[in-house]
Each structure stands twice: as C-alpha cells, then as structure tokens.
A = this chain, B = another copy of it.
Amino acid sequence: MRPGIGVSPGNVPVYYGGGHLKAVERRVKVAEVVLRWVIFGLGVLAAALVASDTQVTNIFSLEKKAKFTDMKALVFLVIANAIAAGYSLIQGLRCAVSMIKGSVLFDKALALVIFSCDQVMAYVTLAAVAAAAQSAVLGEFGQSELQWMKLCNLYRRFCSRVGEGILSSFVVSLGMVSLSGLSAFNLFRLFGNNKGKTRG
C-alpha cells in the first residue's frame, strides 16, 4: 500500500500495480452487486409467488382449497427465499455503498464472514429447491407405485404458479452458488495481498 492514499479501517481505496488485475476486480465487483440485487428481486418474487398461491377446486362436489402450507417443502422454500432476499438486500446495500465510496473490501475477517454466509445461503437455498422440486414432481406426475395420485391436473393454476416460484428459486440458488465463488475469489485476493511477505 502506498502511503498517502488515505486508509480507513476495513475499507481502503483500490490500488494495484497491474491494470489487468484491477480490471478483473472491477468486473468481479460489478458482477457481485448485480447478482446480489437479482437474487434479492428473484427471492422476493419466488416467496411471493408461492406464498400467495391458492386455488379452490370442486372434487366430487366437495370444495377443496390448495395452499402452499399443504406441503412442508413449499413452506421451507418460502422461508429460504425470504431469508435469501433479506440477506441479499443487506449485502446489496453494502456493495452499493462501497461502490459509491469507491472503496474495496480489505478486512479479512469480514471477507471470511461474507464467504461463510454466502456458502450457508447457497446450501440452504439449494436444499430448499431440491425438496420443493421433488414435491413438484410428485404433484405433477404422481407416483403410481405408491398410490400417490397426481394433483396438478386438479390444481392447474396453483401448480404453474408453484412451478414459476421453483424456477425463480432455482435461479436464486444458482446465483448464491456463483456469489460463493466470487466471495472465495475476494478472500483469496486478500490473503494474496497481505500474507507471505516473509516467504517465497
């Protein structure tokens, strides 16, 4: 770090000798902020689509109402997406503030926390999508060997809404997986910058 650039604790302005690395890092930063806001939007969309989804159908003159709480996997999906959206909002704001300030994350502990949180969110959203997709497949096709009848022919509109919600959540989980990769990159960068001065 050159003296006189103005160091603030945690955040310091970017300075690198190599212009190439600087360009890569700028791109990573833009990708991170875009991904965080896309995940926020899609997370809210997925949670809203599934949570607000209901359909009333008459089966043999019996009125039946389908709602997302009928299936535990969908409840888990809504909760996971709500958490992912909330988390991405906070992180998106952090990224936006650091972009406006023109500063770059330089705190190892914070970078490690962000990487760990991104990992946890990636695991949670992926597990939620997998469980919900399994339920959706059962709803759509049934499982004749187990006498579980398909239901989506009865609740067409309900099922397509859930399908859109699952698709949206899938993109959210892929986004969280990508963000984990970006956060890992940020962490490597920090370890590469500050350590190893006495070695080589």
Chain A residues near B (Cβ < 8 Å): 1, 16-17, 66, 70-73, 115, 119, 122-123, 126-135, 137-139, 143, 145-149, 151, 177, 180-181, 184, 187-189, 191-200
Contacts and interface: CB of A to CB of B under 8 A. Distances in A.
A199 B5 CA distance: 14
Given A122-B123, A180-B119, A134 B73 contact: yes
A189 B188 CA distance: 9
Contacts of A139: 146
A198 B15 CA distance: 13
B197 A193 contact: no
Nearest to A137: B72
Contacts of A137: 72
A194 to B, nearest CB: 7
B198 A195 contact: no
Contacts of A196: 192-197
Contact of A138 (B129, B138, B194): B138
A187 B180 CA distance: 14
Nearest to A197: B200
A70 B127 CA distance: 22
